[in-house]
Amino acid sequence: MPHAAITMIPGRDEETKLVLAKRTQAFLAGELGIDPKFVSVSIQDIPMEDWQKSMEQFPDEIMYVKPGV
């Protein structure tokens, strides 16, 4: 059961977040060949002033795609 955690700066409304979560769920389910009911997605807003500190919590070995790459 995969889970996708999305972090981003604030500024998007709940409807936009729900659409993003549903599209992410559908994409992952399709790519992995599983039923979407097995895929969960969370979205967390991180204030810009806390962004760098928040990103430092992710070890390099789990960051498969980094910003700017």
Of residues 65, 55, 66, the one with CA closest to residue 7: 55
User: Residue 12 belongs to what H/E stretch?
Assistant: none
Rounded to an integer, what distance in angstroms lies between the CA atom of residue 29 and that of residue 9? 26
User: Is 36 an active-site residue?
Assistant: no
Cite the active site residues: 2
